[in-house]
Each structure stands twice: as C-alpha cells, then as structure tokens.
C-alpha cells in the first residue's frame, strides 16, 4: 500500500503497535524503514496491548518455547516507554499516537519528547476523562484524540466488555489510581524499579509453556506455524525423512514374519507409500503366545521402571516428529498442523500415563483394626489386545499401548488396515525406549484378524477405538467366550451436536463451526456433525459460515496452505459422495458438494446440508459434511430430547452467553465432553480426558485420571501382624 503511487500524497495511513509484544521495538524499526524507503509519514498508534491473557493461553496450548508477550505488567510498561522513545526520535517519518490512560506514562512521554510538538495522546471514549481534563487544563497545547468503536450493539458489546475488563484489572493504572489505600509514591514507581534486574523480568507465577504441568511432566513441544522461521525448520524436519518406502509386518518377539506383501497407497495421490504383510491365524496365535510368555517378566518390573520406559518413549516420539509427520501425511492424509498435533498428543499420552502410574498404581495402605496390615495392590491383567483407528493412527495407537504396558500388561496391537506403516514406526520407537520385544507384538490386519485376537482365550482385556458397529460386534464376541470375563474399553463415534442460541457471537460461532466440522476433513470422532442454530439468527450466521467454508483450501496436505486433505480411502470417498448426492437430490444441500477438479486422490469437498429436525440425522456421516437444523426459542427442550434419543454421548458444543441456558443443556445431555463457546475438537491429554458413553463408548476416559486402573486388577493383601506373638505397635503405646 505504501508503494502505490496513487496514494503518494495521502497521509492517513496508520498502524497500531502493541508494546506488550516482545517484537514491538523491531516492528517500529521496520515501520520507520518502510516510511523512509517510500518517503511517507505514517501514523503509529502505540498501545499497551489487548488480549494479553489470550496470548498467554495460546502459547501454552501450542507448547511454544516462550511467550510472544511480556508476562509482567511492569515489563509492558517499560517496553511502552522504550517504544515511545523510538517513535519520538522518528517524528520526521512517524506521527506518534500514544494511547494510554496511565498518568505516569503520559508524564514520561512529555518528558522524553521535550514538549508537546509532533504527536498526540489518545483515550478510549468513556475512560481517562479526568486524566486528560487535568492535562489539557494545565497544558492547553496538548493534543488528545478520543477514539471509539463504531457499529451496532450486537457487534460491539463484547469489545466494550473486553476493554472494561482490561482497563479495570487489578494491575491497571486506572484501577490502582482509584484505590485511596495505595500511596501516591507507590503509584508513581517507575517500571524499571519494579523489575529491578533481568532475573525478575518474568512473572514468577506464570511458568513457561513447557512447564505448565509442573513437576509431573513437560508439555509437548509445538510450533508457531505463523512464524516463518519456525515453519521453515519444521518443513525441513519433515522433508529430511530419508525413507520414501516403508514396511509393516507381523512382529513377534521383535522378529518380522515373512509373507506376501501388498502395497500401501497414499490417499493424497495414489502413490506408493510402502508395503504391508498381513497377519493371519498363525501369526495371531504366535503373537498371543509370545505376549503370554512375556507377561510374567514385564509385570514383575516396578511401576517406576515401566513409567520411565514410557517417559523415554515420549521423548523419542517428540524428537522423531519430522519422520512421523511425513508418514502421517503420506499414509494418513494429514495436514501439517494435524500431523504436528498428533505427534504432540502421542508424546503427551506417554508422559501423562507415566506420571499417572507413579501416582495411581502404587500400593495403598487401607485403614483397619490394629494388629494387621491391609495393602491394596494393582497388577497387570495379562495380554491386552489394542485395536486402534486410522483417523489417529499414531496418537490413539500409542495411547492404548502405553496405558496397557505401564499398568503391567503385555500387548498385542492391531492397527487399522489403512495405516499400518505409522504403527510399525511407533513400535520401533517403543522398542528403542526400552519396551522388551516379548512385551509388545504387532499384527497388521483387517477385521478378521481383530476378531481372532478378541476371541483368543488368552486375551485378558480389549481396548478399542473405532465405529459403534464394530464395538458392538466385539462386545458380542467377548460375551460369547467361555473364558474369563474381561474388560472392554471402547471409544466410538457420535452424532455430535453444537447448539447455538441468539446471544452467541457470530464470528466466534463461525470459527468454531469451521474447525469443528471440517478440520481433518471431518474425520475425527469428536467432529461436529449437527449444528442446531436458533431460528432468529440462523440466516446471517449460516451466510457467514458458508462464506468461511468457501475460503477453505482443499488439496495436498503436504502444502502448509492446505486446510482440508483427502478422506482416508476410496470406500470412504464413495460413501460420502453418495450421501451428498442424495442430500442434493432431496434439495437439502446448502453449500459445497462439488467435484474436486485437478485432484487425483480421495478428496471430498466440504458440504453443508439442512435438515428439518435433529432426529432426521440417524447415522454418523464421517467426513466433511455439516448438517444444520433450526430451532425456535420455545422449543429448546424438544430439541434436546431429539438429540438425546440418538443414544450417542461423545462431544457437545454450546454457544451462548446465558449461563442458565448452558446449564440447562449440560444437565439434559450426558455427553462425555462438553465445550462451551469454543470448538469441539482437539481434547488435550490430562486436561480434557476424552471419551463418551451410551453408543459412544464405555469409559473410562483416555488421557484422564481413571484410565490406567481399568487396565489393572486389584489385589488386597491382609497380614495379621499380631500372629507374630503380639501387637508390638499397640503394646508400645503403654498405659
């Protein structure tokens, strides 16, 4: 814009710089240079910064190495004055605008500027009136611009509330100055005296993102994909993967079984990713025998030793993220951000279950009468069969195995038939971490192989993530076995609904609907399937959602600019294409459903379908298809009843600014994970334990505090200590 000759004589161009960002001084240098190169004068509005808490939260969620903003208010104030001096020194190219309600900052600017020439102050309409009235009374030549947002009440209410919260915070000058108990000398302390030295520049109670879980475990490392340097480093890691063809095969006691191999084809473009040797009845029997023989030695290891092995596995997964992301992309069709998130989740599973084992699987002393001890022990059950899905072929695969192993079980793992190569790579890393070869067996295969594993009498438990239909079949097979009654830990799908009322923020709803329904090509069990939107606001909100969906880029997931990659295989694509075609035939297609021109893989364009009632969606449509229903304000209970009748209970979204409405929905729908005024995907290990009930799973929740004990048996050992000749501890009490 600066270089456009038609704007050469226009001096209305302005930028805002936030002093709470650590890059603020560099941004000002860049702006000054740009103004000099283009012979322009640019207005720069310097503010302390908005949405500080969001910046902190975002960095923690993403596992960034540090915060992009200062964590102490005094550091932001110090940065503001440093930025102010830069702007004052560049008044030939910059018109400084100092937005502040802090009297000390105002005085500091005037002092550093040597007067009032060549800049202005700014205040928010409705705030700082007394400060600037006093300033203008004593210095009539001072310039103060009053700024205010312009728009309708519904658009600006959230903005105004936010500004009031920030300016009224305990650390705000406005709040401190209004407190008569705080001495003037304290209010006027310079920020550099509050900091003292670099050691105290950080907030003592805000840990780095890596350390938010304290001594239990480190947070998994993420990447800020909006930072060019960080993105380039990650792409180099992914591109450095030396293997273009990989092999998955039955792995028994660490040895690969030979057999006829078949090709593993990428959903991206049909290219060869590697090959797989499928398991059969013989390899299943061999795997169960090997795991049974390995159980005694593995279960005899201490909880600490098993937990340490898991912690090492987490570190190895994290340090091999480039190779793992490359495989997730080629074999699973994952976008870069989805691949990174999955590596982080697998890492977190290992570390979290290691920490939980140290806390929940150690012997517990039980209360009782004097003269005896009662100890509750947790022991492995035996051989656990772990059957994982293709939509999270690394995270769920590793999570199931890690939980079973640390609880003292040996494992026979069957990955999804679409993603055996990722599973084989994960097993290699688990072995490298120290898992013994006889404790973990790998059997690639289809549903018939899974059935053989479940039916084997040596199976002491089954952990399964996948479709509701397959879970029901496994449940029947386990019930029909003439052997021990074993636990079945299942997490399946759901017709996940999001309920939006008329008080919701349309922009936030749009962002959350787009990510919940279409990220990962809609192939998450937690994905939004049914959007229920109040009729009063349905049309404008749906227009916004359709507009946002139209901006999504469908294509090769290895390209960082791609939002939606392929669905997993031809069968899935055909099923989704047929569903969308039927909805179009019925006149229900609101958006999308077009052909994917120029793409040779298994791509499905995002689609939005409108239904008459929530009950009309009787099945889970596993892909980038969003179903919409409208509801009237008087019909909320009826809507909730229709959703409940489905019998699913996995995830639920609520967008409302009315607490009583949120409470009403939460109480009526017993879903495993409820998300209020945010998206419905991306449950974080140890923070949002994940799993449903009813037709959506058995519990306990993966990544939660109750998960590990389901993999263990409980044993109480009672010892009559008085039988040794007397109760010495009681006798020692005396008279």
SS3 205: coil
Structure tokens at 258: 């030979």
Q: Work out whether strand 120-124 and strand 94-99 pair parallel, antiparallel, or are unpaired.
A: parallel
Q: Torsion angle of alpha carbons 295, 297, 300, 302, nearest 10°?
A: -110
SS3 714: strand
CA–CA separation, 608 and 573 (whole Å) = 16
CA–CA separation, 599 and 593 (whole Å) = 15
Q: To which residue do tokens 């007394």 refer?
A: 130
**Helices assigned H by DSSP within 5-114:** 24-37, 52-62, 73-89, 103-113
Which helix (DSSP H) or strand (DSSP E) does residue 655 occupy?
A: strand 651-655
In the set 55, 425, 491, 642, the catalytic residue is 491
CA–CA separation, 479 and 484 (whole Å) = 10
Nearest residue to 288 (alpha-carbon basis) of 452, 425, 420: 452
SS3 386: strand
CA–CA separation, 320 and 332 (whole Å) = 17
DSSP calls for 480-534: H-SS----EEEE-----EEEE-TTS-HHHHHHHHHHHHHGGGG-STT---EEEEE
SS3 22: coil
In the set 525, 620, 642, 671, the catalytic residue is 525
Give long-range contacts, CB 8 A cutoff, 24+ apart: 477-481: 477/451, 478/454, 481/455, 481/457
DSSP calls for 331-359: HH---HHHHHHHHHHHHHHHHHHHHHHHH
Active site residue 491: yes
Q: To which residue do tokens 């294509």 refer?
A: 555
CA–CA separation, 450 and 272 (whole Å) = 25
CA–CA separation, 233 and 239 (whole Å) = 10
In sequence order, the β-bridge partners of residue 357 are none
Sheet holding 488-491, edge to edge: 255-256, 251-252, 440-442, 410-414, 383-387, 459-465, 488-491
**Helices assigned H by DSSP within 385-443:** 395-406, 420-433
Nearest residue to 470 (alpha-carbon basis) of 488, 456, 485, 482: 488
The answer to whether residues 512 and 680 touch, using CB atoms and an 8 Å cutoff, is yes
SS3 674: strand
Catalytic residue annotation: 491, 525
């Amino acid at each position: 814009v600066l270089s456009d000759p038609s704007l050469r004589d226009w001096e209305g161009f302005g930028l805002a710089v936030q002093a709470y960002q650590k890059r603020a001084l560099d941004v000002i240098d860049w702006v000054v240079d740009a103004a000099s190169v283009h012979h322009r004068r640019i207005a720069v509005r310097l503010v302390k910064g908005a949405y500080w808490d969001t910046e902190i939260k975002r960095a923690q969620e993403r596992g960034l190495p540090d915060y992009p903003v200062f964590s102490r208010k005094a550091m932001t104030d110090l940065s503001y004055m440093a930025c102010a001096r830069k702007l004052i020194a560049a008044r030939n190219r910059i018109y400084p605008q100092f937005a502040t309600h802090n009297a000390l900052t105002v005085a500091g600017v005037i002092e550093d500027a040597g007067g009032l020439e060549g800049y202005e102050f700014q205040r928010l309409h409705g705030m700082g009136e007394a400060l600037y009235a006093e300033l203008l009374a004593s210095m009539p030549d001072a310039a103060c611009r009053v700024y205010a947002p312009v728009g309708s009440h519904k658009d600006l209410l959230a903005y105004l509330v936010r500004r009031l919260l920030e300016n009224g915070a305990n650390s705000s000058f406005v709040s401190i100055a209004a407190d008569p108990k705080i001495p003037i000398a304290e209010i006027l302390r310079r920020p550099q005296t509050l900091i003292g030295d670099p050691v105290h520049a950080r907030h003592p109670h805000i840990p780095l993102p890596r350390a938010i879980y304290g001594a239990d475990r480190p947070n998994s490392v993420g990447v800020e994909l909006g930072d060019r340097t960080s993105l380039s480093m990650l792409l180099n890691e992914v591109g450095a993967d030396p293997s273009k063809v990989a092999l998955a095969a039955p792995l028994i006691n660490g040895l690969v079984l030979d057999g006829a191999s078949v090709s593993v084809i990428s959903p991206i473009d049909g290219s060869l990713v590697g090959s797989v040797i499928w398991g059969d009845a013989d390899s299943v029997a061999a795997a169960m025998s090997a795991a049974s023989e390995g159980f005694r030695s593995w279960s005899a290891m201490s909880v600490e030793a098993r937990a340490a092995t898991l912690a090492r596995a987490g570190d190895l997964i994290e340090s091999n993220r480039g190779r793992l992301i490359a495989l997730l992309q080629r074999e699973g069709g994952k976008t870069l951000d989805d691949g990174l998130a999955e590596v982080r989740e697998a890492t977190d599973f290992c570390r979290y279950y290691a920490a939980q084992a140290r806390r929940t699987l150690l012997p517990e002393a039980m209360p009782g009468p004097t003269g005896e001890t009662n100890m509750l022990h947790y022991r492995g059950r035996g051989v656990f069969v772990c059957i994982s899905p293709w939509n999270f072929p690394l995270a769920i695969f590793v999570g199931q195995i890690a939980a079973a192993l640390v609880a003292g079980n040996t494992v026979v793992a069957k990955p999804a038939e679409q993603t055996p190569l990722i599973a084989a790579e994960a097993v290699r890393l688990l072995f490298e971490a120290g898992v013994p070869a006889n404790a973990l067996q790998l059997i690639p295969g289809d549903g018939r192989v899974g059935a053989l594993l479940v039916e084997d009498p040596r199976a002491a438990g089954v952990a399964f993530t996948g479709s509701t239909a397959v879970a029901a079949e496994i449940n029947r097979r386990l019930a029909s076995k003439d052997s021990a009654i074993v636990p079945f830990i299942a997490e399946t799908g759901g017709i996940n609904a999001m309920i939006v009322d008329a008080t919701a923020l349309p922009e936030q709803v749009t962002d959350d609907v787009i990510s919940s329904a279409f990220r990962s090509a809609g192939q998450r069990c937690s994905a939004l399937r049914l959007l229920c939107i109040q009729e009063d606001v349905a049309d404008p909100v749906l227009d916004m959602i359709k507009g946002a969906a139209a901006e999504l880029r469908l294509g090769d997931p290895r390209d960082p600019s791609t939002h939606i990659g392929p669905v997993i295989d031809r069968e899935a694509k055909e099923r989704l294409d047929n569903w969308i075609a039927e909805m179009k035939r019925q006149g229900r297609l609101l958006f999308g459903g077009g052909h994917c021109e120029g793409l040779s893989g298994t791509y499905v364009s995002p689609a939005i379908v409108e239904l008459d009632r929530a009950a009309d969606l009787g099945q889970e449509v596993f892909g980038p298809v969003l179903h919409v229903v409208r509801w009237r304000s008087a019909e909320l209970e009826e809507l909730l009843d229709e959703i409940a009748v489905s019998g699913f209970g996995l995830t639920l979204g609520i967008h409302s600014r009315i607490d009583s409405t949120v409470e009403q929905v939460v109480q009526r729908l017993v879903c495993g994970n409820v998300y209020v005024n945010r998206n419905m995907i991306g449950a974080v290990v140890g923070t949002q334990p994940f799993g449903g009930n009813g037709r959506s799973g058995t519990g306990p929740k993966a990544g939660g505090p109750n998960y590990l004990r389901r993999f263990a048996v409980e044993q109480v050992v009672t010892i009559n200590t008085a039988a040794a000749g007397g109760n010495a501890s009681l006798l020692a009490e005396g008279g």
